[in-house]
Amino acid sequence: MADNPEAIKKSLRLYMLIGAVLFGGTCLTVAVAWFEFLDFGQHGFDKWDAIIGLMIATTKAMFVAFIFMHLNHEKKAVYWLFGSGLCMVCSLAFLSALAIFDPINDPLFYGKESKTPLILLSPTHR
């Protein structure tokens, strides 16, 4: 914590700079969503716009965590804790992405004769 006027001015200047960066990131996110010349990929909202928006949001979250939550002065154990949580989130996202290879989505899963799922062939669903 700052206890003299010089340290308070220095921390205030840093907070104002980070606030300006966060405001600029918000403006950039809105610009990517609205303006056509910043539209990546196909016209309208698609996966590239989502990826760019998430990258901007992640950068802003890192600024908030490191500066406003004072995580830039933490010990290595805290970094290991956050890193392991990040690895867990990435692992779960990867496992969710593997769901596209689930055999239930395969049209041949129900047999070559049947092109519709068995639940749709039951008498109660006709």
**pLDDT tens digits, one per residue of 105-126:** 666 665 555 555 555 555 655 5
Please state the domain extents for the chain: 1-73, 76-126
DSSP for residue 69: T
Q: Is the pTM of this model over 0.75?
A: no
Of 15-19, 98-102, 108-112, 114-118, highest mean pLDDT: 15-19
Band (pLDDT 50/70/90 cuts) for residue 57 is very high
Q: What six digits make up the tokens of 95?
A: 């496992």
Tokens in use for 63?
């600024």
What is the rounded CA–CA span in Å between residue 116 and residue 80? 49
| Residue 87 one-letter amino acid | C
